[in-house]
Amino acid sequence: MGLSEKQIKVALLIFSIIALFLIPTFIKNQSYMQIFIVVLFYMYLGTAWNLVGGFAGVLPFGHGVFVAIGAYVSTILFMQYHISPWIGMLAGGILSAVIGIILGLPTFRLKGSYFALATMAFAIGIKVLIENINTIGPINVGGSRGLLISYLGNSLANFQWVSKVPYYYIILIMVIILVLITVFLMKSKMGYYLIAGGEDTEAAESLGVNVAKYKLIAMALSAFFTALAGTFYAQWIFYISPNSVDNINFSFEIAFIAIIGGRSSILGPIVGALFLKPLEEFTRTYIGSALPGAHLFILGLVLVLVMIYQPRGIQEIVLKLSKKLMRRISKKI
């Protein structure tokens, strides 16, 4: 036996990261590129959601609100005050974290589905609010028409390009950084405390864990990282509206990807996005034209089946298969 399983794992990981970075050199078709970006975008959102929805053991169903905060803050700063979207991204993240804490303070007392309903109501409320506000003082919010991001020329400072390739690299790096942060967090005291509090609040508190505090930290982090994706979305699509960034279906989708992939598993949202997004695109293209809405039906069916037969998500299957494969490879080498 030449290589251990761990060595093969590391080699595979490095290989797939290199492959991901090389994809744009081989795939020139912009619409394929778009699909890759969409998958990575949802991978990122699912991973950010998982920080609180997975590890902290609560079910927030309104993460669209944080995407909206990120998108609106950076767009308003960029278009109306000529501040680089990168700075706007950070500002949106910080505001979003603050809102996350304000939302979490009263709602973390609620249990299970009541918490889910409260976060949903919050997201819907904010959406209606934005739809009905055209201006706040000198700031143009755009109301239900939304805001356009005008093209100011290819540049890193403007976070704008004609080609999709730079967007692909940015979201890829964002995913890698967020996954690394999650791995690091989960191996630290914070991760142990979060998971303990998520599994059994009372038992964790008896062991000295301030569960509410750790859930709030998780919420702030999750809201922060989710908002960064909002800025990315705005710069990538060039248009935001309450309906595009704070739609309740969008909030659901973020959660579903993490849940179907596997809550409180780092691999979960990654597998979830890889599996669901192409499935969705495929069904929309091939079945959607004959039976409009059929893709939503299939998504629902997948969710129900996974919840019944694979409550820990499809990541478990993937892990089992890859372990088997790994063993076989390590025997052969």
- Site residues (CB under 8 A) for another protein? 187-189, 192-193, 195-196, 199-200, 202-211, 312
The Cα 301–Cα 307 span in angstroms is: 10
- Our CB check for another protein shows the closer of 201 and 244 to be 201
The answer to whether 42 and 273 are in contact (CB under 8 A) is yes
User: Which of 134/188 has CB closer to another protein?
Assistant: 188
How far apart (Å, rounded) are the C-alpha atoms in residues 216 and 208? 16
Q: Sort 226 into a burial class: Cβ within 10 Å, 0-12 / 13-18 / 19+.
A: buried
Of 265, 214, 226, which Cα lies nearest the Cα of 104?
Answer: 214
The one-letter amino acid code at 12 reads L
> Minimum distance from CB of 196 to another protein (Å)?
4
Give the count of alpha carbons within 13 A of 132, CB side only.
6
Q: CA dihedral defined by 136, 139, 144, 149, rounded to 10 degrees? A: -170
Please report how close the Cβ of residue 213 comes to another protein at its closest, in angstroms.
Answer: 9
Q: What is the dihedral of CA 13, 16, 17, 22, to 10 degrees?
A: 160
Q: Which is nearer to another protein, 29 or 206 (CB)?
A: 206
- Judged by beta carbon, residue 217 or residue 240, the one nearer another protein is 217
